[in-house]
Amino acid sequence: MMKLNLILFLALIIFSLLKVNTEHLYRKNYSALDSEQKKEIELREEKTKLELEDSDQSGNNRIEEFAKNKLNMIEPVKKNTIILENK
């Protein structure tokens, strides 16, 4: 009977340690998941910002290309530029 109690006690200790270890790993992984989800949100926001900047720049490029090709506009040369001063 004493051997059986000792074996059961050791089994209880082992399973208790396994339970504690499992809970620790669960919390650690949940924390890592939460951290990665925050990074994902930040990266999505950055991607949206970069896409907006890209579309803005491509819009300016399209306008400049249209002005040069369709309207035959050119950039002014410094010697042909007159600066007016307000007196």
Containing structural domain, residue 43: 37-74
Q: Does residue 65 form part of some domain?
A: yes
Q: Does residue 1 form part of some domain?
A: no
Task: Place 24 in a pLDDT band, splitting at 50, 70 and 90.
Answer: very high
Domain count, the chain: 1
Q: Does residue 48 form part of some domain?
A: yes
Q: Does residue 59 form part of some domain?
A: yes
Q: Output the CA angle 45-51-57, nearest 5 degrees.
A: 140
pLDDT tens digits for range 27-77: 999 999 999 999 999 999 999 999 988 887 777 778 888 888 888 888 878
Q: Does residue 69 form part of some domain?
A: yes
pLDDT at 70: 83
